[in-house]
């Protein structure tokens, strides 16, 4: 019986060590990754550029399109001073590609001639600001801060990636039902 008890005890110890290893190895791996920066990507994930010099949307020198924009929406604003028809169509297609998240984004075309495409608001510069350039695109958060800016040569796929990432990381608070305290 002594030999059988010793084998059973070794088997139980092995099971315990295996169980501890299952939970300890991920923690140790994460600690090594953080401490020695192994396996952590250092590159940027956004395709656009940060735009700290761009004022909040309330201070943009544009003729009043603000009433047409939905409060609480992200805004994809684009300068349409050159090749306007192609740019407007490109950003309309991007808006459609957002699928069920499309209602969370408003499009603002600044400049250009012609009627607005579906879901698009029109605006004109009162005076052209120094931070504006032809074909520039800005992505503004619901508070009106310019989150990212893009040059006229940007690929729409890159903007779509950034917009979908930001929408995923910032859930729509308007869609969440408010819980009432004390109700069942």
Are 55 and 120 in contact, with CB atoms under 8 Å apart? Answer: no
Estimate to the nearest angstrom the gap between the alpha carbon of 6 and the chain centroid.
59
Is residue 124 classed exposed, middle or buried when 0-12, 13-18 and 19+ CB atoms within 10 A define those classes? middle
Q: Please report the pLDDT score of residue 13 as a whole number.
A: 94
Residue boundaries of the structural domains of the chain: 1-43, 57-169
Round the CA-based radius of gyration of the chain to a whole number and report it. Answer: 26
Residue % of the chain over a pLDDT of 70: 88
pLDDT band of residue 16 (cuts 50, 70, 90) is very high
Tell me, which fold does domain 57-169 have in CATH?
Glutaredoxin (3.40.30)
Q: Please report the pLDDT score of residue 170 as a whole number.
A: 87
């Amino acid at each position: 019986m002594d030999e059988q008890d010793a084998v059973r005890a070794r088997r139980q110890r092995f099971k315990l060590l295996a169980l501890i290893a299952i939970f300890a190895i991920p923690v140790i791996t994460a600690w090594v990754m953080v401490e020695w920066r192994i396996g952590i990507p250092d590159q940027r994930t956004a395709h656009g550029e940060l735009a700290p010099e761009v004022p909040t949307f309330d201070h943009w020198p544009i003729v009043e399109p603000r009433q047409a924009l939905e409060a609480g929406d992200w805004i994809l604003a684009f300068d349409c001073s050159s090749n306007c028809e192609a740019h407007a169509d490109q950003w309309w297609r991007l808006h459609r590609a957002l699928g069920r998240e499309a209602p969370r984004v408003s499009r603002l075309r600044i400049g250009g001639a012609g009627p607005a495409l579906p879901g698009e608001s029109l605006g004109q510069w009162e005076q052209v600001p120094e931070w504006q350039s032809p074909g520039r695109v800005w992505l503004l958060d619901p508070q009106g801060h310019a989150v990212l800016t893009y040059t006229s040569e940007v690929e729409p796929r890159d903007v779509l990636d950034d917009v979908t990432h930001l929408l995923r990381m910032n859930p729509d608070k308007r869609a969440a039902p408010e819980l009432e305290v004390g109700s069942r």
